[in-house]
Amino acid sequence: MRTGIQRALAIVAAAFLLGTAALAGPAVRVLALFPGKAMLEIDGQRKVLAAGQQGPGGVRLVSADPRRAVVEIEGVRQELRLGSAVSASYRPNERREVRVLKDRRGGYFIDGLINGQPVRFLVDTGATSIAMSEVQAARLGIQHRVEGRRIAVGTASGDAVGHQITLRSISIGGVQFNDLKAVVIDGDSPRSVLLGMNVLSRFEIDQRENLLILRSKY
């Protein structure tokens, strides 16, 4: 027969296990991505969800495209790429805020990183993607003619020749994004690396007179 101490220990252990189970949230992995849909693995169950639908464990697919999915787990939104996984026990980074003052020439410059290398970006809402000159690409060790795809580029000075590349990572205000498209333009223009909408669209943009505020969405 169990002693009183043994029974007490058994009760405590059972309570601990139950509490752990109650706190454990669903684990989610992205198996396939489509426009407006995603195949998710939720706690081992495979489920195809359309944007707005809820799956096992209360996991909801907020949006999806062929590059990424945004899921909501216990009220917390996470952006996931193909093959990446997350669980409710994961604690996401707090939303970041970057404040930038307009310079004397009317531009907004932000310090950041490209592939771990320091870069001074010029915010350009008219640019579709990150853009840089071949001079800047060489400084960053980017072999755009080898790694990129030759394309025609429209600039403020007219048509130019460029190469579309994929950057391993870029970081702004402590917020990092991976596998982003960029364009390297032949010559020494633009003088600054342009921070285009493929990055800016991931922030809430608030402009107040001479102050630009970028708030990370997730």
Strands 60-64 and 68-73 turn out to be antiparallel
Q: Does pLDDT of 1 surpass 70?
A: no
Query: Do 74 and 101 belong to one domain?
Result: no
Q: Which residue has the higher pLDDT, 72 or 166?
A: 166
Overall domain count for the chain:
2
Identity of residue 15? A
CATH label of the domain that carries residue 111? 2.40.70.10
User: Rounded distance, CA 18 to CA 20, Å?
Assistant: 5
pLDDT per residue as tens digits for the range 76-97? 888 888 877 776 555 555 678 8
This prediction has a pTM of: 0.57
Cα angle, residue 181 at apex, residues 34 and 186 outer, rounded to 5°: 150
Mean pLDDT of 33-60: 90
**Among 87, 116, 138, residue at a domain's last position:** 87
Supply φ then ψ for residue 164, to 5 degrees.
-85, 130
Does residue 136 share a domain with residue 44? Answer: no
Q: Residue 112 falls within a domain, yes or no?
A: yes
Handedness of CA 179, 185, 186, 188 (dihedral sign): negative
Which residue is associated with the tokens 């600054």? Answer: 192
Residue ranges making up the domain that contains 144: 97-216
Query: Is 73 part of a structural domain of the chain?
Result: yes
Instruction: Give pLDDT tens digits for 183-200.
Output: 999 988 899 999 999 999
